[in-house]
Amino acid sequence: MTVSLECAACADERAAGAAFCESCGRTLATGSPAGAGPRCPACGPAGAVDADGYCGTCGMLAARPRDHAEADSSPVAAAVTDRGLRHQRNEDAMWLAVRGADTDAVVCDGVSASYDPDVASAVAAEAAGRVLAAGGDDLAGRVAEAITAAGDAVAELARTDPRRAASNPACTIVAACVRGTEIGYGWVGDSRAYWVPERGDARQLTEDDSWATHAIALGVDPQSAWNDPKAHAITAWLGADAGPVRPRTDTLRPGEAGMLLLCSDGLWNYLTDPAELASTVRAAVRKAPDLIAAARTLVAFANEAGGADNITVVLVPIHP
């Protein structure tokens, strides 16, 4: 039991058997203000979190719902998104919908240089997810439609607020639609989809719309391209200033069992080697009791490696 020692009046009130201090309002048993939220993780028993999420004593933001979110549809699919260690908020967003073995998944990563990128990614993930659920039989076409809808939704944001109009909210997107053993997928930007077979290297299904990828395609040495400060500058995105959105899409019908992985650069930055990525994913799945735990393990891996960016991981096992 912790007692608020900060309040001089508390001693008398405690002696009188009061439930909380009349002068500071803290409950005497826990030291947290009466009726207020949980204790502040930054300053401990002295502070408690107000309704707006900030500690009433030290002012630190306790947590936001988006800092860490999970979607658990084990064993069909699982997704985890996390703020990471260095960013102030989670600008990644995800969408996971499962009906039987059918799975729709979207990962979006807000562009930090734009205004309200967290809103952009949330809006895009939801808009795309809704179209994925309702589209036609052509899976790649359905994904293209979903990404276009997401692009429209993000572009619309710039029309609602002058600050957003001045610095267009923007995000990347990677989306996949799994029906049986057929996977339709598509992307804009540098969020990635991988096929991780049970043996051998991971196969990157997407090709980043980024400066580094373009430079490598033009013949620049991959090592020096990725070390360039511009490496991660994306060349295509969703947003009012993105021009017409041209999602690249494809379909995959794997002949063997494996794992579809969608992720933001918060994960793949730490796993650039396809062999290492494959073994890390397989080890996570093998050691974890279920799929959601495996997704958490991958997020924890990125955080242990530095957590420099927001991290989002979606795992969808495929069994032909």
Partner 1 sequence: MAYTAEAFQNEFLALGATEVNAIVTVTSSGAEGGLRTAGATEIIIVDCSGSMQAEGRMIAARQAAKAAVNCIDDGVRFAIVAGVSTAQQLFPAPGQLAVATPETRAQAVHAIDRLQANGGTAMGAWLKLAHQLFAQRPGDIQHAILLTDGENGEYKGYLESVLQEIGGSFTCDCRGVGTNWTVSELRKIATAMLGTVDIVARPQDLAAAFEQMMTAAMGKTSAGVQLKVWTPVNSTIRFVKQVEPQMVDLTGKRSEDGPRAGRYPLGSWGSESRDYHVCVDVTAGAAGDEMLAARVSVVEGDVAHAQCLVRAVWTDDAALSARINRQVAHYTGQAELADVIQAGIEARKAGDDRTATLKFGRAAQLAHQSGNTATEELLSTVVEIEDAATGTVRLRRRIEAADEMALDTRSTKTVRVGRGQ
Residues with Cβ within 8 Å of 300's Cβ and at least 6 positions away in sequence, in order, are: none
Cα angle, residue 174 at apex, residues 247 and 296 outer, rounded to 5°: 175
Number of other residues whose CB lies within 10 A of the CB of residue 48: 25
Among 53-61, 126-134, 181-189, 273-281, the segment contacting partner 1 (CB under 8 A)? 53-61
Among 11-19, 41-49, 92-100, 182-190, the segment contacting partner 1 (CB under 8 A)? 41-49
- Residue 158 to residue 135: CA distance in whole angstroms: 27
Amino acid at the residue 243? G
What are the structure tokens assigned to 8, written together? 């001089």
Q: Is 52 in the site for partner 1 (CB under 8 A)?
A: yes
Q: Is 87 in the site for partner 1 (CB under 8 A)?
A: yes
Among 39-47, 226-234, 268-276, 290-298, the segment contacting partner 1 (CB under 8 A)? 39-47
Cα angle, residue 131 at apex, residues 316 and 139 outer, rounded to 5°: 55
- Residue 204 to residue 87: CA distance in whole angstroms: 26
Residues 102-161 that bind partner 1 (CB under 8 A): 112-113
- Residue 131 to residue 143: CA distance in whole angstroms: 8
Q: Is 282 in the site for partner 1 (CB under 8 A)?
A: no
Provide the CA 275 distance to its chain's centre, in angstroms.
23
Query: Considering only residues 9, 61, 283, 300, which one is a binding residue for partner 1 as defined by CB under 8 A?
Result: 61
Among 86-94, 172-180, 217-225, 235-243, the segment contacting partner 1 (CB under 8 A)? 86-94
Query: Considering only residues 12, 29, 35, 163, which one is a binding residue for partner 1 as defined by CB under 8 A?
Result: 163
Calculate the dihedral angle through the C-alpha atoms of 297, 300, 301, 306, rounding to the nearest 10 degrees: 170
Query: Considering only residues 5, 11, 29, 58, which one is a binding residue for partner 1 as defined by CB under 8 A?
Result: 58
Query: Considering only residues 17, 65, 100, 162, which one is a binding residue for partner 1 as defined by CB under 8 A?
Result: 162
User: In the bound complex, what is the minimum distance in angstroms from residue 72's beta carbon to partner 1?
Assistant: 26
Which residues sit at the interface with partner 1, rule CB under 8 A? 24, 43, 46-47, 52, 54-55, 57-61, 83-89, 112-113, 162-163, 165-167
